[in-house]
Structure 1
Amino acid sequence: MFEVKARVLELSDFWRDHAAENEAAGQITDEVAAKLRSTGVMRMLQPKRYGGYECHPRDFFETLIELGSRCSSTGWVAGVVGVHAHELAQTDPQLQEEVWGENEDTWVASPYAPMGRAKPVDGGYIFNGRWSFSSGTDQCQWVMIGGLVLDAEGKPDGAGTRHFCLPRGDYEIVPDSWEVMGLRGTGSKDLIVRDAFVPAHRVIDQEEIIAGTAARAIGLDNPLYSIPRQTMFSGAITAGTLAICQGVLQAYIDHSRQRVSRLSGSTSQDPNSLAVLGEAAADIQASIQHFLWDIDRVYDLAAQGETISKDLRIEVRRNQVNASARAVQAADRLFVNTGGAALHTSHPIQRMWRDAHAAMNHMMNTTAPTYVQYGLNLFGHELPPTARY
């Protein structure tokens, strides 16, 4: 077992015991963040020269699933923040040194949505914008956020989204901007940037990183970094979602061990409840295994020196959203079959059920557009500009 995963499992009771506290705080608490930092989860994809593990992506995602099944919000933050090291490792060495040089445990938040506007100036850009959904941002020291560069007429230059990296002093975290019904403990608050100067070396072009071709071009030979960014980032969202559903399953099992119905007796012997359990467990396990199988596939191809094809990238995205949707549907059945007990705010299953549905509202979990892009590509049609693969 990978050492980081083992450390996460050793702290299983800690994660569970602090899940409600994270939700009440509206972010992972300082105590949880410190414990998370001590496990090394955030350094699993980080370059070895900066204290990272450069691990197999399967190890990373398996660890996220174990962590997130015990506390949805901690697992979500670990995935969304931790996956950024995969991209940052492929950027200008000066930027990497600025982020990790003095502190290898520096965390980097997002989001990638191109809500920023950048005006070119000598040596870089003047950057402005407001972003929502910056998961784990209170515990991070840098952000990697999306934006568009403006041309001389003040219009987007047509080169697509770039990622702009800013240190904590160059942006504002908006308090009270994460009043939500699910994944509340992720602290996914809004960010504001006002007239910040971003040097050119802190701006990341996306084309080669998305295609998975940037790493080899700069001499990175670990196959990890030749996996396309979208596969990895959306994989973190999938892993976070599957983790929550695994947590719902475990909460249902724990509840069923104790539950006795006046009508059907012990839930652990009730045929209807057992049928719900069996079907849901199979669906959640199948979703997890399908997701991890895809990760193994792309890693093995990258290890052979191949570039991951557009067709496979689109297929992987299809499978990721399908895995999330199938697992959440299974969690729904478990929630309903828990009965009235699941309605109590003290019951962990209701919190995880809310978290699962909040996770499905993430852009990377939207099923219909992802299925449509798979079909369009299959039949040789042009994909819309909004396609994400």
Structure 2
Amino acid sequence: MIDQVAELADQLRAQAAEAERIGRLTDETVKLMKQMGNIRLLQPKRHGGLEVHPREFAETVMALAALDPSAGWINGVVGVHPYQLAYADPRVGEEIWADDVDTWIASPYAPQGIARPVDGGYIFNGRWQFSSGTDHCDWIILGALVGDAEGKPVTPPQILHMILPRKDYEIVEDSWDVVGLRGTGSKDVIVRDAFVPSYRTMDGLKVMDGTAQREAGMTDPLYLMPWSTMFPLGISAATIGIAEGALAAALDYQRDRVNASGVAVKDDPYVMYAIGEAAADINAARQELLANVDRIYDMVAAGQEVPFEVRAAGRRTQVRAVWRAVSAVDEIIARCGGNGMRMDKPLQRYWRDVHVGQVHAIHNPGTVYHASALSSLGVDPQGPLRAMI
């Protein structure tokens, strides 16, 4: 698939600017992605998927993001949903993929809705932000809090992942007006009094701690991978891929550039040093992310439990890899001069996109670094420090 991405490089690059203009991926880009099967990388084979190693998923996301950041982002975000649906109630997969194995599923998971129990399921209401790629998806996974008869969250909180078809939610147009990753079309969605049958829900805590996978009888290592490794993987891979694209665009721009002093940039040792160092950091970020998922996959494949300390260290690795790559992009951009920031140059778009990728919630280092440090000291973190780990 990476070879296919490379073969389509010119077409994918050409669509990136148009996607930013219209605020979503172009239909042409989606067509190309469906032809390649990007979103089916983690999809079960019984539903036309490829069931690749998570490393291959990340490598594909990076390759696509380097050419079209928004397309790479969608590959990473939308592309991880089939991994989770592999261990949902079997009826869910049949509904979604029975007629079209290239059906895409959106999200987000933030529990910003209330699910009120009724006979056979739930009455569901809420509004969510950041539904990446939602215009091109026919289903969605939404986070919810279980509510009581009056619609107020029960105590202690119970989190559900609700799975809905396109007819049961509304996409809010003009709700994605941002400085970067505009082509992802990460719009708001609204659900009003939708009935969601129980079989189209998943216990959020069981998904995150791995219980759901085991209760579903999963045996393939791919589907036993920790959710806290897999869900961030696509997002972190996309951000690092954008950094790789920024480096490539900068090298293309600098190749024949002459600076304000009349010196060819390739003869400026200070710029060459900065580019070389930044390139090394971006590559280190890439290798770190891939080595981390390899390590965890090997543990799972060997039948080992992945303890909290290892998961926390893995999340620390993901976060730090992204911050390292974004910092390297800043060093590159700072050496490209004012003309590099012109809107007819792709450099400024990569710069904006990589920073928006960095500010995704999963890249917030605070609790991740804190939890990892405590774990390495033999302390078992509690409460919010366990979130997304």
TM category, shorter? over 0.9
Distance of 2:260 and 2:182 partners within structure 1: 35
SS in 1 for 2:335: helix
Contact 1:43–1:52 (8 Å) recurs in 2: yes
Partner of 1:144: 141
Contact 2:203–2:212 (8 Å) recurs in 1: no
Segments of structure 1 that go 5 or more residues without pairing to the other structure are none
Q: Structure 1 residue 201 and structure 2 residue 194: aligned?
A: no
Out of 6, 27, 31, the residue aligned to residue 28 of structure 2 is 31
Distance of 1:346 and 1:12 partners within structure 2: 19
Correspondence 1:243-322 to 2 at 5 A? 243-263=241-261, 265-322=263-320
Distance of 1:338 and 1:330 partners within structure 2: 13
Q: CA deviation at 1:190?
A: 0.1
Correspondence 1:112-131 to 2 at 5 A? 112-131=109-128
Partner of 1:385: 384
Q: CA deviation at 1:40?
A: 0.6
Q: Work out the number of aligned pairs and report it.
A: 386
Change (3 A) 1:130 1:288: same
Partner of 1:227: 225
Out of 327, 348, 352, the residue aligned to residue 350 of structure 2 is 352
Out of 73, 77, 86, the residue aligned to residue 89 of structure 1 is 86
Contact 2:159–2:205 (8 Å) recurs in 1: no
Moved more, 369-378 or 192-201: 369-378
Partner of 2:184: 186
Correspondence 1:20-59 to 2 at 5 A? 20-59=17-56
SS in 2 for 1:143: strand
Q: In structure 2, give the amino acid aligned to 1:86.
A: Y
Q: CA deviation at 1:6?
A: 1.7
Contact 1:213–1:226 (8 Å) recurs in 2: no
Out of 7, 12, 27, the residue aligned to residue 10 of structure 1 is 7
Contact 1:73–1:185 (8 Å) recurs in 2: yes
Q: CA deviation at 1:152?
A: 4.7
Distance of 1:151 and 1:373 partners within structure 2: 33
Distance of 1:62 and 1:228 partners within structure 2: 19
Contact 2:5–2:64 (8 Å) recurs in 1: yes
Report Cα offsets for 1:29-76 as digits up to 9, x if no partner: 111111111111100000001110011010010000000001100000
Partner of 1:110: 107
Report Cα offsets for 1:176-196 as digits up to 9, x if no partner: 000111000000000000000
Contact 1:119–1:150 (8 Å) recurs in 2: yes
Contact 2:66–2:244 (8 Å) recurs in 1: yes
Q: Which TM-score applies when normalising by structure 2?
A: 0.96
Q: CA deviation at 1:378?
A: 3.1
Distance of 1:325 and 1:93 partners within structure 2: 39
Contact 2:208–2:388 (8 Å) recurs in 1: no
Contact 2:299–2:305 (8 Å) recurs in 1: yes
Displaced runs of 4 or more, over 4 A: none
Moved more, 94-103 or 313-322: 94-103
Q: CA deviation at 1:207?
A: 3.0
Distance of 2:82 and 2:157 partners within structure 1: 24
Partner of 2:73: 76
Q: In structure 2, give the amino acid aligned to 1:40.
A: G
Q: CA deviation at 1:213?
A: 4.3
Q: In structure 2, give the amino acid aligned to 1:323.
A: A
Q: Structure 1 residue 162 and structure 2 residue 160: aligned?
A: yes
SS in 2 for 1:60: helix
Report Cα offsets for 1:115-136 as digits up to 9, x if no partner: 0101000000000000000000
Q: CA deviation at 1:381?
A: 4.6
Q: CA deviation at 1:206?
A: 2.6
Moved more, 285-294 or 367-376: 367-376
Report Cα offsets for 1:238-291 as digits up to 9, x if no partner: 001101100111011111112112425211221011011111000000011000
Distance of 2:216 and 2:174 partners within structure 1: 42
Q: In structure 2, give the amino acid aligned to 1:195.
A: D
Contact 1:113–1:131 (8 Å) recurs in 2: yes
Q: CA deviation at 1:225?
A: 0.5
Distance of 1:70 and 1:160 partners within structure 2: 40
Distance of 1:311 and 1:377 partners within structure 2: 5
SS in 2 for 1:260: coil
Q: Which TM-score applies when normalising by structure 1?
A: 0.96
